[in-house]
Amino acid sequence: MRPGGHRGWLLRLVVAFAFAQGAVSMARPAVSYRALALGAGETAVGVVAGVYALLPLFAAVPLGRRTDRGRCAPLLPAGVVLIAGGCAFSGLVDSLVAMAAWSGVMGLGHLCFVIGAQSIVARQSAPQEQDRNFGHFTIGASLGQLAGPVVAGALIGGPDMAGTSALALLVAGATAAVAFTSLWRIERRASGASGAPRGERVPVHRILRTRGVPAGIFVSLAVLSATDILTAYLPVVGEHRDIAPSVIGLLLSLRAATTIACRLVLTPMLRLLGRAALLALTCLLAALLCAGIALPVPVWALALMLAVLGFCLGVGQPLSMTTVVRAAPDEARSTALALRLTGNRLGQVAAPAAAGLVAGVAGVAAPFLMLGVLLLAASGLGLRQGRTGDPESAGDPEPAGGLEPAEDLEPDGGDAVRRPARRRERTRR
Query: pLDDT tens for residues 269-292?
Result: 888 888 778 888 988 999 999 888
Q: What is the pLDDT of residue 63?
A: 79
| Contacting residues for 161 by C-beta, under 8 A, at least 6 apart | 33, 34, 36, 37
Query: What does each C-alpha distance from 354 to 52, 92, 131, 347, 357 come to in angstroms?
Result: 14, 28, 33, 10, 5
Answer yes or no: is pLDDT of 379 > 60.
Answer: yes
Banded pLDDT at 382 (limits 50, 70, 90)? low
What CA–CA distance (Å, rounded) separates 205 from 211? 12
Beta-bridge partner residues of 410: 419
Number of C-alpha atoms within 13 angstroms, CB side, residue 264?
A: 8
Report which secondary-structure segment, H or E, holds 419.
strand 419-420
Banded pLDDT at 348 (limits 50, 70, 90)? low
Exposed, middle or buried by CB within 10 Å (0-12, 13-18, 19+), for 343? buried
What CA–CA distance (Å, rounded) separates 262 from 279? 13
Q: What is the pLDDT of residue 113?
A: 92
Banded pLDDT at 397 (limits 50, 70, 90)? very low
Least confident of 19-23, 123-127, 287-291: 123-127
Give the mean pLDDT of the chain: 77
The conformation of residue 410, written as its DSSP 8-state character, comes to E
Answer yes or no: is pLDDT of 140 > 90.
Answer: no
Q: What is the mean pLDDT of residues 123-129?
A: 77
φ/ψ of 192, rounded to 5, equals -70, -20
Q: Right CATH number for 8-185+205-396+415-428 from 1.20.1250.20, 3.90.76.10, 3.60.110.10, 3.40.50.720?
A: 1.20.1250.20
Answer yes or no: is pLDDT of 170 > 80.
Answer: yes
E strands, 97-190, where? none
DSSP one-letter string for 92-105: H---HHHHHHHHHH
What does the pLDDT look like over 55-104, one tens digit per residue? 777 887 887 877 777 777 788 999 999 999 999 999 898 888 899 899 88
Residues 331 and 202 sit within 8 Å (Cβ to Cβ):
yes
CA dihedral 261, 115, 176, 99 (to 10 degrees): -110
pTM comes to: 0.70
Answer yes or no: is pLDDT of 22 > 80.
Answer: yes
Diameter over CA atoms, the chain: 67
Q: What is the pLDDT of residue 407?
A: 30
Answer yes or no: is pLDDT of 312 > 80.
Answer: yes
What does the pLDDT look like over 156-167, one tens digit per residue? 877 888 889 999
Q: What is the pLDDT of residue 395?
A: 40
Q: What is the pLDDT of residue 82?
A: 95
Banded pLDDT at 411 (limits 50, 70, 90)? very low
Q: What is the pLDDT of residue 392?
A: 43
What CA–CA distance (Å, rounded) separates 259 from 183? 25
Answer yes or no: is pLDDT of 10 > 80.
Answer: yes
Closest to 213 (Cα-Cα) out of 116, 57, 332, 113: 332
What does the pLDDT look like over 174-198, one tens digit per residue? 999 999 998 887 776 554 444 444 5
Least confident of 296-300, 320-324, 328-332: 328-332
Share of the chain above pLDDT 70, in %: 81
DSSP-derived 3-state class of residue 385: helix
Give the helix, strand, coil percentages of the chain, each rounded to 5. 75, 0, 20
What does the pLDDT look like over 29-58, one tens digit per residue? 888 888 888 888 777 887 887 788 777 778
What CA–CA distance (Å, rounded) separates 176 from 360? 33
